[in-house]
Each structure stands twice: as C-alpha cells, then as structure tokens.
Amino acid sequence: MLDSAGHIDVLDALSGDSYKLKPHELSDVG
C-alpha cells in the first residue's frame, strides 16, 4: 500500500515488524 510520500508499507511476517520502503528499494529486498 502506498502512503502519501510514495512509500510502500511492508510487513515482515516473521517478526511482525512493519517498515517502509521507497518503490525503487524493493528490488534490493530480494
């Protein structure tokens, strides 16, 4: 889901932590 800043909310299913990535950073995540 995109917020107003164009970040994507990402939920880490293992830890339950949420964090935000810029769309161009997604390719670095794996």
- For the segment 3-25, what is each residue's pLDDT rounded down to a tens digit? 676 666 676 666 666 666 676 66
Quote the pLDDT of residue 1: 59
Domain count, the chain: 1
Give the type of residue at 20: K
Quote the pLDDT of residue 3: 63
Which residues span the domain enclosing 22?
Answer: 1-30
For residues 19 and 13, is the Cβ–Cβ distance under 8 A?
Answer: no
Give the type of residue at 14: L
Quote the pLDDT of residue 10: 73
Helices and strands, number each (H, E), in the chain: 0, 2
